[in-house]
Amino acid sequence: MTREQVLDLYFLDARGKLIEIAAFLDRVERATGKEDFRAKAFRKAVRELGGKKPQRAEKVLRVLSDPTTKPIPAATTKAACGAWPRPT
Amino acid sequence: MKYIEPHAHMVSRVTDDYQRMALAGCEAICEPAFWAGFDRSSPAGFYDYFCQLTEHEPKRAAKFGIAHFSWLCINPKEAEDVEFAKDVIALIPQFINRSNVLGIGEIGLNKNSRNEMKVLEMHVDLAARYNQLILVHTPHLEDKLKGTRLILDVMKSDKRIKPERVIIDHVEEHTVKLVLDRGHWAGMTLYPETKCTPARAIDILDTYGHERLWMNSACDWGISDPLAVPKTALEMKRRGHRAAAIERVIFHNPRKFLAQSPKFKLPAA
């Protein structure tokens, strides 16, 4: 596909999602209380979108991933939350 | 356009979905054992579930001319209790020769715990002893990358396992190459919010080619779409993919992997 064809097919959809992200970040900022590791991870992932570097989707996924390599001692929940709570 | 749905949890779907899938060209559905949304209270609950997967569900599918196949296991979400898992795994051999059972799945990891690893290794051993295909679930969201690496190491460490007889499912951009480089098949799951969208799945095809890749809806009791595969086929068409290339991904590729089991036979045309 040409770049123009890709834009014809996906620009409006991506534009809508981009505005949703902007509005989400505004919403988090307007809210009260402390933000947690998810917001920090999100902002770090957003930075991967800038510039002309390729493989942005892969980089965003990696930023949001647990980078450790050993199994955890026990599963205390079944759910995933979408970002890794980096130990402080 | 004919297609195969290689991963769907039809026990959680209404009969209308079978009808819609048949109308969309679905020829076969493969149903891995999974988490019901709650933990079963006893291995007997799994016995009944395995009966449902091997007796009842094929009959529902047959009413719409769709072949139904299943995979058996205790899923990773219920694998933290190793003794419980052992009791469930002990039930599987009595079902393994049933006509629609293709292999062991969807096994794998959920939170990447030590006990989940033990249960994964027990399943892999079972598959090796009974010469079964393996379908692997990779963890969700932040746990996927680590879990995929751990799973790949388990597969590699058991020398009885042939990589081409293992499908690692729910790959995304950060895990697909790891899986393909080890010689396994990779499944892309088309699922709202998590996993892949149709557009991203096609991006992965554009980047890594059509070899050893399939697409599935993994439709279940959550918000999911049983028609995700044909909808993605339509998206491929919009992006200029040729009919033969589309048919390869949605029909010939899954058939090639699944036909490694002699039980995988499609309805006569």
* Domains, chain B, ordered by start: 3-258 (3.20.20.140)
Question: One digit per residue, pLDDT tens: chain B, 269 residues?
Answer: 999 999 999 999 999 999 999 999 999 999 999 999 999 999 999 999 999 999 999 999 999 999 999 999 999 999 999 999 999 999 999 999 999 999 999 999 999 999 999 999 999 999 999 999 999 999 999 999 999 999 999 999 999 999 999 999 999 999 999 999 999 999 999 998 888 999 999 999 999 999 999 999 999 999 999 999 999 999 999 999 999 999 999 999 999 999 999 999 998 76
- Of B187, B216, B240, B172, nearest to B6 by C-alpha is B216
Q: Which of B110, B146, B172 sits opposite A75 (nearest CB)?
A: B110
CA atoms within 13 A on the CB side of B259: 9
Facing residue for B113 by CB, picked from A75, A82, A83: A75
pLDDT at A88 over 70: no
Kindly state the tokens that stand for B196.
């892949």
- B232 touches A: beta carbon within 8 Å: no
N- to C-terminal Cα separation, chain B = 13
In chain B, the residue whose alpha carbon lies closest to the alpha carbon of A85 is B142
φ, ψ of residue B74 in degrees (nearest 5): -105, 125
Q: What is the pLDDT of residues A25-65, one digit of tens each?
A: 999 999 999 999 999 999 999 999 987 788 999 999 999 99
* Phi-psi domain of B85 (left: phi exceeds 0; alpha: psi -120 through 50; beta: other): alpha
pLDDT at B195: 86
Domain ranges in chain A are 1-33, 34-66
* Global model pTM greater than 0.95: yes
Reported ipTM: 0.95
User: Smallest Cα–Cα separation from B172: which of B136, B203, B209, B134?
Assistant: B203
According to DSSP, residue B155 is labeled H
pLDDT tens string B51-72? 999 999 999 999 999 999 999 9
